A and B are shown apart, each in its own frame.
Chain A
Amino acid sequence: MTAEAASKPKKLCIIAYSSDLEKTWASLIIASTAAAMEIETSIFVTFWALQAFVKDSKRLPGQNWMQKMLSFMQRPGISHRKTSKMNFMGMGPWMMFQLADKYKASKPKELLAMCQELGVKIYPCQMTSDLFGIRREDLIDGLEETVGAATMLELATAADSTMFI
C-alpha cells in the first residue's frame, strides 16, 4: 500500500434518487465495487429511491390514502423495481433477470446484501420518508440514521466523487 492510500482513504457519495430497476442496479454495482476497493462509500436515499429500500415483504406503506396510493402505483422493495422503459407489465424486468442469470450477473438484491456486508453506509432521507409516510420499520434493516440534505451535502463535499443516480 502506498503511504498516500494508507493515510487517506478515498470516499464516494451516491445520491440514489430513482427507483427504476436499471438505475438502482447501477447504484448498487458501483457502491458494492467501491466498497470492495476499500473506498468509503455512502448512499443517500431520497425521493423515489426510498421505495427500493423498503422491505420486499412490506405492502402499501403509508399513513394516509395518498401515500398508500403512491405505494400501490409502484410496489416497494428491491425485488419489485420496474424498468424506466419497456417495462411491459413486468416483462422487461423478468427478461433482464433471466439474462442476468444466463450471464451470471448479480441482481440488485444480492448486490444490496453485498453492500451491507462490505460496510456501505446507507442513509434514508427524512423529508421524503415523511412525504411518503415510510417509517423506519418499513425500511430494510441495517441502515444508518435518517438524515437531511445538510448531512448529504457534508458527505458529498467530503467525497472524492459524488454521483446522482
Chain B
Amino acid sequence: MDFKLKVDASGLSCPLPILRATQGIKTLQSGELMEVVATDPGSVKDFAAWASSTGNALVEQDSANGKFRFVLRRK
C-alpha cells in the first residue's frame, strides 16, 4: 500500500494517538492513506470509534509484538 503519511504514536498515552492521527489526516487529500502505529491497547477500540465518528475509513488493522497498526483513508 502507498502511504502518504506514517504516524508513529508508539509509547503515547490516550488521547495522544488519536490527536496525532487527527493532526496527520488533516494534511492529506481525500482518498489518501495514512498508517498509524500505537502501543496503547485502548487505541484498538478508540481508532474504530474515531473512524466511525469522523467518517474517515479504517481500511486495515493488525497487531504484532505489542504494536497496533491502523491504516486510515481520508474521507
Contacts and interface: CB of A to CB of B under 8 A. Distances in A.
Interface of A: 1-2, 5-6, 10, 29, 32-33, 36-39, 103-106, 114, 117-118
A106 B13 CA distance: 8
Contacts of A114: 19
Interface of B: 11-16, 18-19, 21-23, 49-50, 53-55, 75
Contact of B18 (A2, A36, A105): A36
Nearest to B57: A1
B16 A37 contact: no
A5 B16 contact: no
Contacts of B11: 104
Interface of B is mostly: helix
A104 B13 contact: yes
- Main SS of the interface on chain A? loop
Contacts of B75: 1
Nearest to A1: B55
A38 B51 CA distance: 10
B49 A105 contact: no
A2 B13 CA distance: 29
A104 B16 contact: yes
Contact of B19 (A2, A33, A39, A103): A33
Nearest to B10: A104
9 contacts: A6-B55, A29-B15, A32-B19, A36-B54, A37-B54, A38-B53, A39-B53, A106-B16, A106-B19
